[in-house]
Structure 1
């Protein structure tokens, strides 16, 4: 594996640093490296591999579609593209006159949302402190982390940030000049921070009063990750638009913007946006297989039950380094009383578990939705010894 990592360093631009492993294949919730070591994947490609690795339904759908047509461009359409758009509108409970724009990634979905907001005739966009919406320049303007933003400033003007979860701050910031408020229902990259469903309820009331678009970023939280098709549904609201990606393709690159109602859907018209690869037959066929499997295997309910099981099992450890687990469904953070997340992730990897040190004092878990409670228990059982083995950074 070391020789392959040397080749990686010589041939790829170093935006990710040097990865710790070269993975060769996966099956279910496990992956193997090129040295033959097996790991329980509790990150799921950062909430992407909803069905795990090599799920027969996804493999079959992709194989069948690859033999028929992979790409046709958006000069034409295909049956999978149409069916996927219809399914997304259905699971989002979108009203008549709603629409879908299919792209290739979450960042592209955000870019489409930014252009949608500009079509209101207003310029101002409000996002939240701690937000992560992507790395392209428009999405980066909405992302709050200074280390991501500063090397590329000046970014798109007219974007401001308010404290996440603070209803009063949001109310004070939104005016009749605000084009859109863009919010995550749960902030994944910030450390799985959940303000509770009432925050989006308040955001809907605030934006409706000023004629402002409420755009919900469900790139990480959507497609069953939190136990609902979309996390906003726990708030009982109807947003103006939703971005989706990650888990939708089960590992195949895909993203989308869902717009709610004819007034919002009509903001973008012919020629005002586009994509060459977006909505291609291969990705849309894969996404349909993911949605079908989530229904057939009862994975929405399973995400809720398994998430509660994980949180309860970790709480039962009563370990002095552990704080109560945050998050919903199978998007969870294990908060730590010491800044040992990176060391803990390395120790976990040595023990055969892949976890994400999302912050110095938090481990993020976003396993495949098919993860079993026995597999989660394997990790929880190992956790006390892992915690005891790590030291604070010097």
Structure 2
């Protein structure tokens, strides 16, 4: 609960690469927090929290992210990348669970993974194994076509959600509403709307 509240509050501030020290149940935890969100001076609560964390919670120096080699690489890559976001001067190299690591070995709590497909974290062995096995058969099939796995998933989701709905709504659920629901698996939120 406390960690969830901390993550919620920290995700509102822009502490790209800041070292944050947190006390949880008497234990001290130092993290590097990576977030791409920006806060505005008009958001007094976020600004106040940012100042409080900066003054009271910084746990000493972290490895220098702006070393010449990293800065040079970032500058070179920036020639080819659209500057859509203000990016921190670092190169993310790999991830494990809810953390990402830069090329210098610094560890960051990844508070941005939920924007796409990383809800299960980075480098999850079970997910990696399933992806590897599936990639030996098919990497991608448009939702224009049927595949056994997709059809079985749709059937499983419908059967489980409908049986749960019927049990939880005894007396409300009527046969006239029993038209069999169907699933459309989308590639994006645009298709879903």
The TM-score range, normalised by the shorter chain, is 0.3 to 0.5
Which structure has more relative contact order (CA 8 Å, sep 6+)? It is 1
> TM-score w.r.t. structure 1 length?
0.25
Q: TM-score, normalised by structure 2?
A: 0.48
Larger radius of gyration: 2
